[in-house]
């Protein structure tokens, strides 16, 4: 997946995974894992773990990742 996707494409991918369980506007840790493994398979190679990434993205500490928080991941990988 390219970081050069349109906001509409990114929102569509987010919603596809967020709709798998619970709140369709939030990613659970499991939904984030599936999204990362499928769309960004190289992201968790190296020192980053899913747990570290989830903690970093879940800025408000509610145990889920909103689309706004998810956009932080895109900023991180596009640097």
Q: What is the pLDDT of residues 15-43, one digit of tens each?
A: 999 998 888 899 999 999 999 889 878 77
Q: Using alpha carbons only, what angle is made at residue 42 by residues 56 and 31, rounded to the nearest 5 degrees?
A: 55
Residue 53 confidence (pLDDT) above 50: yes
Residue 74 confidence (pLDDT) above 50: yes
- Written as six digits, the tokens of 12 are 């569509």
DSSP structural state of residue 48? -
- The domains of the chain, with CATH numbers, are 7-77 (1.10.238.10)
Contact (CB, 8 A) for 17 and 55: no
CA 47 to chain centroid, in Å, comes to 17
Between 73 and 61, the more confident residue is 61
């Amino acid at each position: 997946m390219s970081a050069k996707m349109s906001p509409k494409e990114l929102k569509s991918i987010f919603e596809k995974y967020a709709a798998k369980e619970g709140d369709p506007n939030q990613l659970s840790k499991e939904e984030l894992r599936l999204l990362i493994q499928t769309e960004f398979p190289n992201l968790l190679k190296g020192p980053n773990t899913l747990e570290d990434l989830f903690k970093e993205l879940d800025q408000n500490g509610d145990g889920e990742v909103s689309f706004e928080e998810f956009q932080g991941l895109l900023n991180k990988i596009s640097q």
